[in-house]
């Protein structure tokens, strides 16, 4: 009896296990097989940037001479006097009215003393004549003195007063001449040339000093007649000095005429006041039209092969594809894209030639590359 009960229990357990297995197989048969990931090549980290709208410098490059915006020539007003002292040298900053050189004043000092003595004498004479005229005042028609004598004293007093005025003017003239023996700066600025020495005699046509007013130096760039259409007042320019230093400038003035022989005109580019911007130096200007932004990429992002120029565009999941491009102007390390991916597209910034279409990359954003966009 006990054996019969054990066989029945074992049979029941077997049937339950078989039923569970059948249910599991049925459920598994109803589910779709899991999708396998697409095959993926080895992923490598590469620098990426976005195609962005920006002005391109380098479309027009000119050159010219660094020239003071306003150059003031200073010379002595009086000729024939010896220079006693020179008070400033080239490179000095001066204020308006500051003494630059002093001439010997001994001759004019003596002449001024003489004229002042004559003025004192004339003033004494004038007082005497005035007193004589005052004594006969009111005697007209009384027969004490003739009319002619009365008028003579009045006229003598008036002549004496006039002589005092003339002598006072002579003293003022001499004092003015004496003041002009000190040569002063007419404007504030930078002394860019000095050609006078102690002991020189004033006179001649060569200026003693040349001053760049307020120290402002600008580039007078030569521009071909056909290129004037690309330039306007206020246009930004990058000026490259002889030592390759870069200076930001702005077009201040465009010449209204073109030389009939060379077919060149002048564009004046205002520059900041800097010690390395020297009058007479040579510089180049690259104009940047910030009002005309174009799709652009760094030059390193363009790859060249037998089929021409192209870029590697980074698509979804980091997969790259090759897209042909047509380039335009270049400048400042950037290239204009006339034909290519639209602004905002992510492209490989460097080592694009080492990638193949379909490769997978891990993007690494360059500084300023627009990762947050």
* Separation between Cα atoms, residue 32 and residue 11, nearest integer Å: 35
- 60-68+215-288 falls under which CATH superfamily? Efflux pump adaptor protein, beta barrel domain (2.40.30.170)
* Separation between Cα atoms, residue 352 and residue 6, nearest integer Å: 77
Note the CATH number of domain 44-55+293-365. 2.40.420.20
Q: How confident is the model at residue 266 (pLDDT cuts 50, 70, 90)?
A: very high
| CA dist list (Å): 134 to 120, 147, 158 | 21, 15, 12
List Cβ<8 Å contacts ≥24 apart for 298-302.
298/49, 298/333, 298/334, 298/335, 298/349, 299/330, 299/333, 299/334, 299/335, 300/349, 300/350, 301/49, 301/335, 301/347, 301/348, 301/349, 301/350, 301/352, 302/327, 302/335, 302/352
DSSP state of 136: T
Res. 285: pLDDT tops 80? yes
Mean pLDDT of 165-174: 91
C-alpha closest to that of 58 among 299, 278, 368, 301:
299
* Separation between Cα atoms, residue 347 and residue 169, nearest integer Å: 85
Write down the mean pLDDT value for the chain.
83
Res. 23: pLDDT tops 90? no
Alpha helices in the chain (DSSP H): 2-30, 106-135, 147-179
pTM reported for the whole predicted model: 0.62
pLDDT of residue 305: 87
Strand 361-365 and strand 44-50: the pairing is parallel
Mean pLDDT of 180-189: 96
Res. 64: pLDDT tops 60? yes
Domain ranges (residues) in the chain = 44-55+293-365, 60-68+215-288, 74-100+186-211, 106-179
């Amino acid at each position: 009896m006990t054996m019969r009960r054990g066989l029945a229990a074992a049979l029941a357990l077997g049937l339950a296990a078989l039923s569970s297995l059948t249910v599991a197989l049925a459920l598994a048969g109803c589910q779709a097989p899991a999708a396998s990931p697409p095959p993926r090549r080895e992923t490598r980290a590469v620098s990426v940037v976005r195609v962005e709208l920006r002005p391109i410098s380098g479309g027009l490059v000119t050159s010219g001479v660094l020239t003071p915006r306003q150059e003031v020539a200073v010379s002595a007003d009086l000729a024939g006097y010896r220079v006693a002292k020179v008070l400033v040298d080239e490179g000095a900053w001066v204020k308006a009215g500051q003494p630059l050189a002093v001439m010997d004043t001994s001759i004019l000092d003596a002449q001024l003393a003489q004229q002042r003595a004559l003025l004192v004498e004339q003033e004494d004479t004038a007082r005497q004549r005035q007193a004589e005229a005052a004594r006969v005042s009111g005697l007209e028609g009384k027969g004490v003195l003739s009319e002619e004598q009365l008028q003579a004293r009045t006229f003598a007093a008036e002549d004496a007063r006039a002589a005092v005025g003339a002598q006072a003017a002579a003293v003022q003239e001499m004092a003015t001449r004496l003041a002009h023996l000190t040569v002063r700066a007419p404007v504030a600025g930078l002394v860019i040339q000095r050609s006078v020495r102690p002991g020189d005699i004033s006179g001649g046509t060569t200026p003693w000093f040349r001053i760049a007013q307020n120290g402002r130096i600008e580039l007078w760039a030569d521009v071909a007649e056909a290129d004037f259409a690309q330039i306007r007042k206020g246009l930004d320019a990058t000026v490259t000095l002889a030592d390759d230093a870069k200076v930001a400038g702005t077009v201040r003035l465009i010449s209204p005429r073109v030389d009939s022989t060379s077919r060149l005109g002048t564009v004046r580019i205002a520059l900041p006041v800097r010690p390395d911007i020297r009058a007479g130096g040579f510089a180049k200007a690259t104009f940047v039209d910030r009002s005309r932004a174009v799709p652009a990429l760094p030059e390193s992002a363009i790859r060249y092969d037998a089929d021409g120029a192209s870029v590697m565009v980074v698509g979804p999941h980091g997969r790259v594809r090759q897209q042909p491009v047509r380039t335009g102007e270049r400048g400042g390390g950037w290239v204009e894209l006339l034909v290519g991916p639209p602004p905002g597209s992510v492209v490989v910034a460097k080592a694009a030639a080492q990638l193949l279409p379909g490769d997978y990359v891990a993007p690494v954003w360059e500084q300023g590359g627009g990762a947050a966009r």
